[in-house]
Structure 1
Amino acid sequence: MNSSAQMLGEQSVADRSIGAIIAETRNLSADQVERILNHQRTQGIRFGEAAVALGFASADDVMFALAQQFHYPYALEEHRKVNAELVALNQPFGVQAESFRAIRSQLMMRVFNDLQPRRAVAVISPDSGDGKTFFAANLAVALAQLGGRTLLVDADLRGPRVHEVFGIDNKVGLSGILSGRAEAQVIRQIQGVPSLFVLPVGATPPNPVELVERPAFGLLIRELVAKFDHVIVDTPAASLGSDAAVIAARCGAALLVSRRNTSRLQAVAAMLADVADSPAVVVGAVINDQ
């Protein structure tokens, strides 16, 4: 390896320069790195710009390198089709991701701070198709991007979907814990987002309400809240049963999601009334356009 390529390698170990990250991501040869460095010097531009100009990298590669340098989780283009719903990870500089960051900021002020008791946030909605899982998954990504340990719990024991969004195995999970049958590691760390963890449902049980009403669920939530900086809990639709209100009560806080031009005001009001009769605090409401 020549001196230029050696220099990039040393920088990669020491401070992960943009050039080192791009070279590693695209598996550039020493000759390609040398050509980029020469173009950079002659044109007086940055390494990333030179790599793009010569066709050895894309603008997306440069953005990925910047995100890596600043420890900001960001998915490369070829990885985005696997988890297309994760807009906060796939398109972190887009309008939708900015909306999730705005909601994150509100939650950090209202829930996840040293002045408030430690609570989990249950994402609730009146009907199926309101976008709870989409919302909960992206909110969890946005919180993890702050660097704090974030756990997304799939407590939709009727129609779980979190494992599909993140592309993880769903053989064991929450239902196994609550029934006393979980033997393997059930909490999964999400690849590419070091601070994000997911607890899937596992086997779909025949008695979902009974499982979340048992003391074991409340004890589990308290344990998870003590171990993680942020805990977000996905829930079933209120139209399917009382699960969501029970889960919100165990979590201590709830965030209501409704869908524009679809959710009925009467259903939203009924759900808010159910939660109001529980120990949970409704910390906000979101209208989903997705």
Structure 2
Amino acid sequence: MSDLKEPISPAHSKPVDSSTKPAGGLHDRSIGAIIAETRNLSADQVERVLQYQRERGIRFGEAAVALGYANAEDVLEALSKQFHYPYAPNERKTRSPELVALNQPFSSQAEVFRAIRSQIMMRLYREGEARRALAVISPDSLDGKSYFTANLAVTLAQLGGRTLLVDADLRRPRQHDIFDINNQAGLSSILSGRSEPRVIQQVEGLNSLFVLPVGAVPPNPVELLERPAFGMLMRELAGKFDHVIVDTSAGQYGADAAIVAARCGAALVLARQNQSRVVALQELTDSLDGVNTTLIGTVMNQY
């Protein structure tokens, strides 16, 4: 098993429009201009902030906060707009609190996800190789797999490439709750042969991220995943999206995770610090023996 270990501390989208003046460079608007516009500051107030800034040699945002013309949230929102980086306002944070990579993109937790993203991209996307989907697997429920998968998908989408998160946990799906999206139809509908409109949904405020939820929880998850339709679907999706990340059922529930990983072509193991048992992790990785799946690493989740 290759090592890809990063500690993560979990927290259990209408993000602001970050597309201001996209034709220009990253710094086409100053933080001061954005804050002044957002808070409707008068010319007099802007001048006071600038004077306070000059006297103390600090940034405009810090000066505006010190004078009571803005708050820390305004500064983060302005930064996200300046760098065209998706950022969720308070109303979205309340609806999707687990999406720390979207709610707090400049936090240490989000930075950890970006570091893991970089490692995954170096190992998963190699020149000359066919593009593969990535299954995130773990031995037990409550390992934090759905939380991890959701935030990894967000960070991949923040690069600008079309990213699809597939919820293939046909036993205890959670991605529709995490992203606050409709779950009336989804993967189970497709695998059952039912034609449903709009099974793939775009995440509000993050135009490059899409989610395929489970839909109705089926009574026969293993049988559905073993159907040729699932493998064909994953190959088709991997060809249409820049990144395809797949959430799975915990290994404790049976063969689901191994089947999904085999159809994806690549897998990442998530373990929970001080909780995951070595024997369970070994059984999970052994289940991938003999199938055409590359195990790209292991992440240790700390919470």
**If the TM-score is normalised by the length of the shorter chain, which range does it land in?**
0.7 to 0.9
Partners in 2 of 1:195 and 1:225 — Cα distance? 15
Describe the superposition over 1:237-270 as per-residue Cα deviations: whole angstroms up to 9, x where unpaired: 1111111100000000000011111111111101
Change (3 A) 1:286 1:105: same
Give the C-alpha shift of residue 178 in structure 1: 1.3
Change (3 A) 1:54 1:234: same
Q: Give yes or no for contact 2:150–2:165 (8 Å, CA) kept in 1.
A: yes
Name stretches of at least 5 consecutive residues in structure 1 with no aligned partner: 1-11
Describe the superposition over 1:73-107 as per-residue Cα deviations: whole angstroms up to 9, x where unpaired: 22234532322211212222323222211111111
Describe the superposition over 1:129-171 as per-residue Cα deviations: whole angstroms up to 9, x where unpaired: 1111011001111111111111110000111000111111111
Partners in 1 of 2:142 and 2:200 — Cα distance? 26
Describe the superposition over 1:183-221 as per-residue Cα deviations: whole angstroms up to 9, x where unpaired: 211111112322211111111111111111111111111
Partners in 1 of 2:44 and 2:187 — Cα distance? 53
Q: Give yes or no for contact 1:83–1:165 (8 Å, CA) kept in 2.
A: yes
Aligned to 1:40: 49
Partners in 1 of 2:188 and 2:61 — Cα distance? 48
Q: Give yes or no for contact 2:49–2:67 (8 Å, CA) kept in 1.
A: no
Q: Give yes or no for contact 2:50–2:60 (8 Å, CA) kept in 1.
A: no
Q: Give yes or no for contact 1:119–1:252 (8 Å, CA) kept in 2.
A: yes
Q: Give yes or no for contact 1:255–1:284 (8 Å, CA) kept in 2.
A: yes
Name stretches of at least 5 consecutive residues in structure 2 with no aligned partner: 1-19
| Counterpart amino acid of residue 172 in structure 2 | G
| Counterpart amino acid of residue 106 in structure 2 | F
Aligned to 1:279: 292
Aligned to 1:66: 79
Describe the superposition over 1:54-74 as per-residue Cα deviations: whole angstroms up to 9, x where unpaired: 423212211221112212122
Aligned to 1:207: 220
Which of the residues 130, 135, 139 maps onto 1:126?
139
Aligned to 2:115: 102
Moved more, 131-140 or 94-103: 94-103
Q: Which has the higher helix share?
A: 1
| Counterpart amino acid of residue 163 in structure 2 | T
Q: Percent identity?
A: 61
Structure 1 runs of 4+ aligned residues shifted over 6 Å read none
CA RMSD of superposed structures (Å): 1.9
Q: How many residues align?
A: 275
Partners in 1 of 2:201 and 2:34 — Cα distance? 26
Aligned to 1:246: 259
* SS of equivalent to 2:298: strand
Aligned to 1:91: 104
1:45-56 correspondence runs (5 A): 47-56=60-69
Q: Give yes or no for contact 2:138–2:250 (8 Å, CA) kept in 1.
A: yes
Change (3 A) 1:219 1:23: farther
Moved more, 15-24 or 244-253: 15-24
The structure with higher relative contact order (CA 8 Å, sep 6+) is 2
